Amino acid sequence: MRLDGDLVWPMDNTYGPSVIRTPRADGTFRLVFGSCRRSAPFDEQGFKEFGPDALVALAERMTAGADEFPDALLLLGDQVYADDPSDAVLAKLREAHGERQDSEVADEIGNYEEYTWLYDDSWTTPAVRWLFSTVPLCMLLDDHDLRDDWNTSLTWRRWVTEQPWWRDRVVGAYASYWVYQHLGNLSPEQLDQDAVYRAMRSIEDDEERTAYLDSFAWTADEDPASCRWSFYRDFGDESRGVRLVAVDSRCSRRLEPDARAMVDAHEWEWVRRHTVGATRSIQHLMLGSTLPFLLAPGLHHLEGWDEAISSGAWGPRGARVGEKIRQGMDLEHWASFRRSFDDVTTLLAELVSGEDPPASILMLSGDVHCSYLAEARLTAVRHPGTAIRQLTMSPFRNPVPQYVRWANRLLGARWMTTLLHKLARSAKVRDVAAEWQLAHGPWFENGAMTVTLSGADWTVDVDHADLQDGHQLLRRTGTYGRLDSAGNRLMS
């Protein structure tokens, strides 16, 4: 590609040409996913603070053998950190605006132009740039794409919308997300139906186009039902294939304590339409959400208890305490939106009890800076033909400190789970119509997961990033999957 006569692509040939791969002859489909990637130098200090980069390691693996190419890549949030930019972006911010110490957001991204610096810094790493040009991408946004704890609660929402910097920040976040991430989620047919896409292609005046996109971005935050960030993708055989339904669990929330929901009715109706209401037969359903549907059981009970007391189960004083705990511990996953969690279990029950149930329902998530596989069973219906699994992979590159690892292990202890279950019941939190356990993990290293689907079979490869002789590599931690035809578990 040349612009004004200058060669702008490819920028280097380290990783070879960017290619388009056709579907595999045997129908096998392979998807890599994960979340949470910080931008930092690949030097001694960068590796010490953030470790090796799983996306770079994936690109290195791909150059070593064509069979390792994934068919798609799913990024489940925190692709960029607007509230904690890299040193390189921070230096650029300070150069442009000076030392803005009069503001609590002086060292954060403030508008659309600054978001372009953020994406440029994160995505022009040669290995990542080549990876993104070679493997089809789909993405969801999460809180750090805008600010930590985004839409955690109504209290947080009321506080942030009163801040003088909020409008420029949210307009820049949504507008840049639409350009840099969301457009790639949509098929050509979906793009043809997208009003914003049509407007941006038809408006010729730059200022008018900018004003239109800014207005769209602001309205998207003020009125979530005015747009949709959830999307779906179909892969494989048209008659009975693979469907990915990626659910926005950040922007379309309802935050009123008496009507709290992870996704509003408008968004959930769309999810149902493309799952239980799908017109095509689905052999494998992948439900994507930046936040895990299923947490460690102890953490699930803790979040259920905190939501109950935050909503008044223990009176006004308990509600204030619950709100502080909710924000302080980031207790904002599906478990803390019990109404929506019940919607999910109802949806799963309808799927597995239908005339043509999927062979697997794989729930893909990130966010929590650890990775694990949970095996789940619905208690209201039997589903011997459908495996239900929570697959959580995080981070690509942003490991947590040791005390957080200890806390995760503590919450996973059986005695702690029992104690927290009793605590939740004391706040009149009822049990949900599902049971699950963490079958493998948790792991805390940077890494990525690969889901491989072939016929009715599914397997999950867990890889973690290593640094060997200066090279960033992926190390296979394990392979897990369904039972084979002889009844043997596919596991190593």
pLDDT at residue 24, as a whole number: 84
Residue 70 scores a pLDDT above 90: yes
Residue 488 scores a pLDDT above 50: no
Q: Which amino acid is at 295?
A: L
3-class state of residue 8 by DSSP: coil
Query: Are the C-beta atoms of residues 431 and 422 closer than 8 Å to each other?
Result: no
Secondary element (H or E) of residue 473:
strand 471-483
3-class state of residue 70 by DSSP: coil
Residue with the two structure tokens 């009975």: 240
Length of the chain equals: 492
Give the whole-angstrom CA distance, residue 212 versus residue 171.
11
pLDDT tier at 416, thresholds 50, 70, 90 = very high
Mind listing the pLDDT tens digit for each residue in 347-394? Answer: 999 999 988 999 999 999 999 999 999 999 999 999 999 999 999 999
pLDDT at residue 102, as a whole number: 58
Mind listing the pLDDT tens digit for each residue in 287-343? Answer: 999 999 999 999 999 999 999 999 999 999 999 999 999 999 989 999 999 999 999
Give the whole-angstrom CA distance, residue 267 versus residue 64.
42
Neighbouring C-beta atoms of residue 403, cutoff 10 Å: 8
pLDDT tier at 491, thresholds 50, 70, 90 = very low
Mean pLDDT score of the chain? 92
Packing angle, helices 126-134 and 112-123, rounded to 10: 90
| Cα Rg of the chain, angstroms | 22
Residue 265 scores a pLDDT above 90: yes
Mind listing the pLDDT tens digit for each residue in 161-215? Answer: 999 999 999 999 999 999 999 999 999 999 999 999 999 999 999 999 999 999 9
Give the whole-angstrom CA distance, residue 5 versus residue 2.
5
3-class state of residue 251 by DSSP: coil
Give the whole-angstrom CA distance, residue 26 versus residue 454.
8
Domain boundaries, the chain: 22-491
pTM of the model: 0.94
Who has greater pLDDT, 377 or 258? 377
Give the whole-angstrom CA distance, residue 239 versus residue 85.
45
Q: What is the DSSP letter of 17?
A: -
pLDDT at residue 239, as a whole number: 63
Q: Which CATH fold would you assign to the domain 22-491?
A: Purple Acid Phosphatase; chain A, domain 2 (3.60.21)
Residue with the two structure tokens 């794989």: 362
Residues 6+ apart with CB under 8 A from 307: 260, 322, 326, 331, 335, 336, 337, 338, 429
Query: Are the C-beta atoms of residues 241 and 235 closer than 8 Å to each other?
Result: yes
Q: Which amino acid is at 310?
A: S
Percent share of the chain, pLDDT over 70 = 96
pLDDT at residue 22, as a whole number: 84
Query: Which two structure tokens, joined as six digits, stand for 18?
Result: 């960017």
Query: Are the C-beta atoms of residues 7 and 368 closer than 8 Å to each other?
Result: no
Residue with the two structure tokens 């925190």: 78
| CA diameter of the chain | 71
Residue with the two structure tokens 């979530």: 224
Residue 492 scores a pLDDT above 60: no
Burial of 79 (0-12, 13-18, 19+ CB in 10 A): buried
Q: What is the DSSP letter of 286?
A: E
pLDDT at residue 484, as a whole number: 42
Secondary element (H or E) of residue 458:
strand 457-468
Residue with the two structure tokens 């008659």: 239
Give the whole-angstrom CA distance, residue 421 versus residue 423.
5
3-class state of residue 397 by DSSP: strand
